[in-house]
Amino acid sequence: MEILVCARRVPDTSENEIQINPAGNDIERDDLVYSINEWDNYAVEEALQIVARVGGSVTVVTVGGQDDEEILRREMAMGATHGVLIADDAFAGSDARGIATILKAFVQKGRYDLILTGVQADDGGAQVGGMLAAMLDYPFASLVNGIEVLDAKKLKVTREIAGGNREVSEIDLPCVLSIQTGINEPRYVGMRGIRQVASVPIPTPSAAELGIDPATVGHAAAKVKRVDYFVPSLGKGAEMLEGSREENIDKVIELLAAKGGLK
């Protein structure tokens, strides 16, 4: 099975302190540590496990610039066969639809049985996978936390739905799935593995090579644009207790009693 995983390089939320820059138009990026979007990493691991079961290969693709190559190398160190960086100045400022347009062009240049993305990144968009599927007219399932290959034409997928329940469906190949965290336990990628793939060539197709009309992507074509970053004025929020720990505990017990929280 030929599997394509669409991945993104993002600031690692848990290892950074996200602060707005003085101009207010972006976050402070100087000291940020970047890594592959956590959801996409689960997707790559899932792809590798599927291929280990049924054969085939895994390609990881990202839309971006030189800096984004590092996540491709990391996933290749993990076991992906191919890494592709789609880069072109025309792509700058693309919204999610623009990214999906770019990826669609790439998918159509190859032959992939299964396309995986992560459910979302920390920006909570959760959109590229669904858009890509619709553009390609492939069936789609989001929040996937279980995949079983039924045969060369069909998968059984489990989706995460409310209350911890799981929705089981059958889906035709080729299809697009967005993968939820916790579906597997991603293997470790050590520094040595990354060094070993340091000089593997990574193709970098441009808009022209993929037959993408620049008018359909990029900042001008984007219908959704981020204007700025801000931290909302804290408004009401919680009543913060400022006393000593003992005083705070006493106050909490008082409030609990009032609210009926003490038996």
Partner 1 sequence: MVEGIQSVPQVASALVQARILFLIIHVLGVGCFGYIMARRLAPLFRAERDLRFDRPWERLGKVGKFWLGQWRHPRYRGAGIMHILVFAGFILLATRAFALVLGLADSVAVPESVGHIYDVVKDYATTIVFLCMAVAVFRRLVLKPPRYAVPTRYGKGHPADAVFLLALIALLMVGDSLFAASKVAFQAQLGQREDFLAVLSLPWALKHVLLSASLPALQEIHFGGFLLHDLTFFFLLCYRPFGIQFHVETSLFSVFFAKLDRGTLKPVRWGVPDDQLEQVKSFGVKTFENFTWKHMLDFYSCADCGRCSDNCPANAVGRPLSPRFLTIKARDYAFRHYPMFGKATNGQALIGNLYAEDEIWSCTTCGACEEECPLLVEYIDKIVDLRRGMVDDGNVPQSLQKPLKSLESRGNPYGKMEKKKADWVRNKEFEPTCKVKILDGKNGADTLYFVDSITSYDDRMQSIGRATVRILDHLGVNFGILGGAEKDSGHEVRRFGEETLFMALRDDNVEAIKESGVQRIVTADPHAYNALKHDYKDIPPVEHISQVIAREVKAGKLKFEPTDNGSVYTYHDPCYLGRHNQVYDDPRDVLDAIPGMKRVEMKRCRDRSFCCGGGGLMLFYEPKEEQRIGVRRVEMAAEAGANVIVTACPFCMVNIEDAIKVAGLEGKMTAIDLAELVDQQIAREAPKESETAVLVGG
Partner 2 sequence: MTARIFAYIMHKAGVADDSAAELVAAAKKIDPAAPPTAIVIGSGADLDTVCASVCGLYAEVWKVASDAFAYPNAELIRRALVKVVPAGSVVLVPHEHFGIDLAPGLSIKLNAAFVSDVLSIDGSEGADLKVVRQEFGGQVSTHVRCNLSSGAVITVRPGAFKALDGAPVAGSVVDKSGEIGALTAGRRYLETIAAEAGDVDITKHAVLVSVGRGIQEKDNIGIAHELAEALGAAVSCSRPVVDAKWLEKSRQVGSSGKTVKPKVYIACGISGAFQHLAGLKGNPFIIAINKNPKAPIFQVADVGIVDDILEFLPEFTNKVREMHSVSVK
Binding site for partner 1 (CB under 8 A): 12, 14-17, 31, 33, 35, 78-79, 185-193, 195-196
The structure tokens listed for 218 are 């990029």
Parallel, antiparallel or unpaired: strands 154-160 and 140-151 = antiparallel
- Smaller CB separation from partner 2, 54 or 255: 255
| Distance in angstroms (rounded) separating the CA atoms of residues 168 and 145 | 10
- The nearest distance, CB 198 to partner 2, in angstroms, is 30
- The nearest distance, CB 7 to partner 2, in angstroms, is 17
- The nearest distance, CB 150 to partner 2, in angstroms, is 11
| Distance in angstroms (rounded) separating the CA atoms of residues 247 and 213 | 65
Q: How many CB atoms lie within 10 A of CB 49?
A: 18
- Smaller CB separation from partner 2, 61 or 131: 131
Contact of 78 with 45, CB cutoff 8 Å: yes
Contact of 7 with 71, CB cutoff 8 Å: yes
Q: Which does 23 bind (CB under 5 to 8 A by kind): partner 1, partner 2, none?
A: none
Q: Which does 111 bind (CB under 5 to 8 A by kind): partner 2, partner 1, none?
A: none
- The closest alpha carbon to 95, from 70, 63, 136, belongs to 63
- The nearest distance, CB 50 to partner 2, in angstroms, is 18
Q: Cβ contacts of residue 263 below 8 Å, gap of 6+?
A: none
- Smaller CB separation from partner 1, 15 or 170: 15
Q: Which does 193 bind (CB under 5 to 8 A by kind): partner 2, partner 1, none?
A: partner 1
Is 16 strand, coil or helix? coil
- Smaller CB separation from partner 1, 191 or 215: 191
| Distance in angstroms (rounded) separating the CA atoms of residues 132 and 251 | 53
Per the rule left: phi > 0, alpha: psi between -120 and 50, beta: everything else, 165 is beta
Q: Which does 33 bind (CB under 5 to 8 A by kind): partner 1, partner 2, none?
A: partner 1
How buried is 121 (Cβ within 10 angstroms: 0-12 exposed, 13-18 middle, 19+ buried)? buried
- The closest alpha carbon to 91, from 205, 226, 229, belongs to 205
- The nearest distance, CB 126 to partner 1, in angstroms, is 24
Q: Which does 218 bind (CB under 5 to 8 A by kind): partner 2, partner 1, none?
A: none
- Smaller CB separation from partner 1, 17 or 137: 17
Q: Which does 185 bind (CB under 5 to 8 A by kind): partner 2, partner 1, none?
A: partner 1
- Smaller CB separation from partner 2, 192 or 259: 259
- The nearest distance, CB 17 to partner 2, in angstroms, is 9
